Amino acid sequence: MKSIRYRQLFVGLVVSFAASAASNAQLPEFTHLVKEISPAVVNISVQRSAAARVPRGDRFDEREMPELFRRFFRDMPHPRPQPRNRPTLGSGFIISSDGYILTNNHVVENADEIIVSLQDRREREAKVVGADTLSDLALLKIDASDLVGVKLGSSEKLQVGEWVVAIGSPFGFEYSVTAGIVSAKGRSLPDSNQNYVPFIQTDVAINPGNSGGPLFNLDGEVVGINSQIFTRSGGFMGLSFAIPIDVALDVVEQLKDKGSVSRGWLGVLIQRVNRDLAESFGLDRPSGALVLQVYSDSPAESAGLREGDIIIEFNGMKIDLSADLPHVVGRTKADTKANIVIVREGKKKTLAVVVGQLSDSTLSIETGESGSQSGNRLGLVVEELSDEDKDRRGVKDGIQVVEVLDGAAGKAGMRSGDIVTMLDSQWVKSVQQFNEIVDSLVADDSVPIRIVRNQSPMFLAIKVIEP
């Protein structure tokens, strides 16, 4: 009996060990990969004057250190700080053996001096060949021999769930390696100046000092440039974002040739289509980019685009999310002829547009009759706008909401002070016309209403209530 039990125990241990080994065999092994790719990664130290402004720099000081290290530094004697240049630490990587290096623009912006440190401890001063604020990329050049460049991969082929590796200098700890998986692709971040980058989201640990460093796949190819993290604490919280290498390479070629980057421009302000707006515009599902405003003398105006149009396709590319449109338009060359498929008043329509050139200026643009004080079917008390008020509020036409009562408008999120410029796809020019449109609305229908709030236009969906 004992021999049988021992035999069963032995077999069980063997099976358990085999299962554990099989499970471990599925995990990636990074040591050989890191040895191969590390020589192409560089550390970047930047000197700036104290007055220089760094929008998203990776400044490294004891306040950014973990608490354990802060205590250590706090116990050491410190002289009273004096005004001086402060170093900024970042990362980068060599893209060619002739000394070209790619990093983030915010790492080197407004730099007085840029020093690149190689893995073999050599240091070289770098010059900025060109920089692009919208993609947050900068191309540097150093004079050095025996340089090893990275292998460049394809972010387009990258799949969600795929393993990726980052190498950089978080908090100044050089050549730190972290790993994780791709969490999502094509992410747009709230910063409007970054709308032209479809970020790769990962759970790779990234901290100040990692900016500009490479994101590798398991084939040792660069698929992204680590750029930003989402954080409430100042440190890593599981959400990091990398610029796709396909986007970066297009930027690099233009920076090499011209020192600047050109992008396509349409000339519209857009909004995401949610479920309520989709219903109010007669769509079967939330999709597309809702046009809030068409800028004067823009390609969009010439093509016949209007406020309230929903762009669902641009030059053969489907626009499922509003964030998809800037990515697609931005990568289209100026003077390119493109077709735009829109939904207008519930019907599809195709417009032809000649894409314009995005510039700094285009980027930065982008008699009283009192209303009824009892409110209308929507629960709004409105009044006329004087010409002076229209100029001050930046609108051509519209009426002002004086009070929001209990009703459909309040449920939709309207506020006192909103300017109503369009209702149910009709421009609003007066209180009388607005009330006529309200009276003609069909009960239980959802209708779109365009408002201007704090000089920013937006669409809301209002569910009409029985009069």
The helix (run of H) or strand (run of E) holding residue 331 is none
Alpha-carbon distances of 323 from 42, 71, 141, rounded to whole Å = 33, 44, 33
Tokens of 172: 């100044």
| Owner of token pair 């004086």 | 402
- Give the DSSP letter of residue 40: G
**Could you write out the three-class secondary structure of 338-406?**
EEEEEEECCEEEEEEEECEECCHHHHHHCCCCCCCCCCCCCCEEEEECCHHHHHHHCCCCCEEEEEECC
Active site residue 32: no
Instruction: Tell me which residue of 160, 210, 174 sits closest to 56, measured CA to CA.
Output: 210
**CB of 297 closer than 8 Å to CB of 463:** no
CB-based burial label for 350 (10 Å; 0-12, 13-18, 19+):
exposed
Backbone phi, psi, residue 434, to 5°? -60, -45
58, 136, 418, 424: the active-site residue: 136
Active-site residue, 58 included: no
Q: What is the DSSP letter of 80?
A: P
- From CA 123, how far away is CA 104, in angstroms rounded? 19
From the candidates 183, 211, 280, 298, give the one annotated as an active-site residue. 211
Active site residues: 106, 136, 211
